[in-house]
Amino acid sequence: MIEQLAGAQQRAYAEFSSFAERYVAPFASQWEMEERISRDAIAQLAAAGYLGCMMPHELGGNGWNSLTYGLFIEALARASTSLSGLCNVHTMVLHTLLKWGTPQQQATWLRPMIRGELLGAFALTEPAAGSDIQGVSTQVAYAGDELVINGTKRWITFGGLADVFVVFGRLTDHDAAPIACLVEKDTPGLTIQPISQMLGFKASHLAELQFVDCRVPREQIIARPGFAFSYVAPYALEFGRICVAFTALGILHGCLKHCGEHVLTRKAFGTTLIEQSTIKAMITMMGVDYEAAGHLCISACHAKDAHLPNATEKIMIAKYFTSKAAHRHADTAVQILGARGCHEQHPVARYNRDSKTLEIIEGSNQIHEMILGNSFARKYRQH
């Protein structure tokens, strides 16, 4: 993949990889066991300017394009997918505010979030509503100058650590119009309950948010009621899918690194593993899928950075292909590594757990099939 990048991108990628190897990789297993990420690591991200992803320089952001962001996520996810998850949700909230926030909301939130003083999370999923966001049922009522929120959000990535949430719900009147608003973590009526013992992304501070007559000022509405599901959420989820695609790419890369080292040195039946045809086939498929996934991810970012309308579809294709490939080859990597790959603290064991999650989040891969299947049939039909 690296040879597809321009010189500046290659240097940025080397910088990100160095950061991840120094500040993330040595601690990732510990974080997973403790089901928490240290504040030190987040402070390091902030100090390096890595929490202002793709935000304009004039706001103090790093001014990256989406490809640079993707390369950063690839390097980070190889070391800790949980930490890449933090960047994901934080970035989605930043871009929601940059695109749809009022000037007052932007003035209040963007700079502290870019500096990493405040962390954001995306509160969309509910116990009975995941990929089908039309099922969201959290109630939002107008009450004078305030909104009153009642409902439950579940599986909220970094919900246990974030300072501010973008919360999605439906108005109690106005034809149940979808609405999004900002809610600070200490708002009375909001209770945050950590969720533990997840299969993957164990250090992602997953949480359930309970809203019981939770009141926020009406000025915290994002965009306009009626557009939360059709504009606000989909706009943010594009950034989320870029992150998931590159997280999966990082997992593929990590699998290749660990497996490459192992098959070139480990001997069985008098030869190294790579001399055995079944192992060659496994590594070939892993490497080819990594290269193919890299092309799809880079192509999606080029479309996004050129502001092309087909970026939405290209990003979905990249997320779909790469997350499936990552899970397939993380499974292969455990097989190749044998018993050591089954140890909870080995990176490929973590890749195996985390890659399953990637097939589910930011729109399950089945939702992607519903959309992409229709699109491909229409695009390539024979006239």
Partner 1 sequence: MTEQIAGKVREYIIINTSVDTLDDTLDIFDSGLVTSLFAIELMTFLEQQFAIKVTMNDLDMANFNSVDHITHFVEQKLQHGAA
Q: Which residues are catalytic?
A: 362
Q: In the chain, what's the furthest Cα-to-Cα distance?
A: 79
Give the three-state DSSP class for 143: strand
Min separation Cβ 378 and partner 1, Å: 6
Binding of residue 108 to partner 1 (CB under 8 A) = no
Rounded Cα gap, residues 154 and 320, in angstroms: 23
Q: Does 101 bind partner 1 (CB under 8 A)?
A: yes
Closer residue to partner 1 in complex, CB, 72/239: 239
If the CB atoms of residues 180 and 273 are measured against partner 1, the closer one turns out to be 180
Q: Does the protein bind partner 1 through residue 194 (CB under 8 A)? A: no
The only residue of 310, 343, 345, 376 in contact with partner 1, by rule CB under 8 A: 310
Q: Which residues pair with 214 in a beta bridge?
A: 149
Site for partner 1 in 204-243 (CB under 8 A): 222-224, 226-227, 229-231, 234-235, 238
Q: Which is nearer to partner 1, 254 or 363 (CB)?
A: 363
Q: How far apart are CA 66 and CA 69, in angstroms?
A: 5
Closest distance to partner 1 from the beta carbon of 309 (Å): 4
Q: How far apart are CA 102 and CA 26, in angstroms?
A: 41
Minimum CB separation of residue 285 from partner 1 in Å reads 32
Q: Is 362 in the site for partner 1 (CB under 8 A)?
A: no
Using CB under 8 A, pick the residue from 4, 10, 44, 102 that binds partner 1.
102
Closest approach, Cβ 65 to partner 1, in A, equals: 15
Q: Look-up: residue for tokens 């080819």?
A: 288
Q: Which is nearer to partner 1, 19 or 100 (CB)?
A: 100
In contact, 160 and 194? CB cutoff 8 Å: yes
Residue from 7, 144, 270, 309 that binds partner 1 (CB under 8 A)?
309
- Note the Cα 143 to chain centre separation in Å: 35
Q: How far apart are CA 138 and CA 315, in angstroms?
A: 29
Neighbours of 169 (CB within 10 A): 27
- Residue 157: CA count within 13 A, CB half-sphere: 25
Burial tier of 311 (Cβ tally within 10 Å: 0-12, 13-18, 19+): buried
What is the DSSP-derived secondary structure letter of residue 53?
A: T
The token duo for 208 is 């359930």
Taking the least distance from each CB to partner 1, the nearer of 77 and 223 is 223
Instruction: Supply the minimum distance, in Å, between the C-beta of residue 234 and partner 1.
Output: 5
Q: Quick one: tokens of 126?
A: 């509910």
DSSP letter at 361 equals: S
Pick between residue 267 and residue 381 the one whose CB is nearest to partner 1. Answer: 381
Smallest distance from partner 1 to CB 313, Å:
8
Residues 70-99 that bind partner 1 (CB under 8 A): 99
Q: Does 311 bind partner 1 (CB under 8 A)?
A: yes
Q: Please work out the total of residues on this chain that contact partner 1, with binding judged by CB under 8 A.
A: 25
How large is the C-alpha radius of gyration of the chain?
21
**Binding stretches for partner 1 (CB under 8 A):** 99-102, 222-224, 226-227, 229-231, 234-235, 238, 306-313, 371, 378
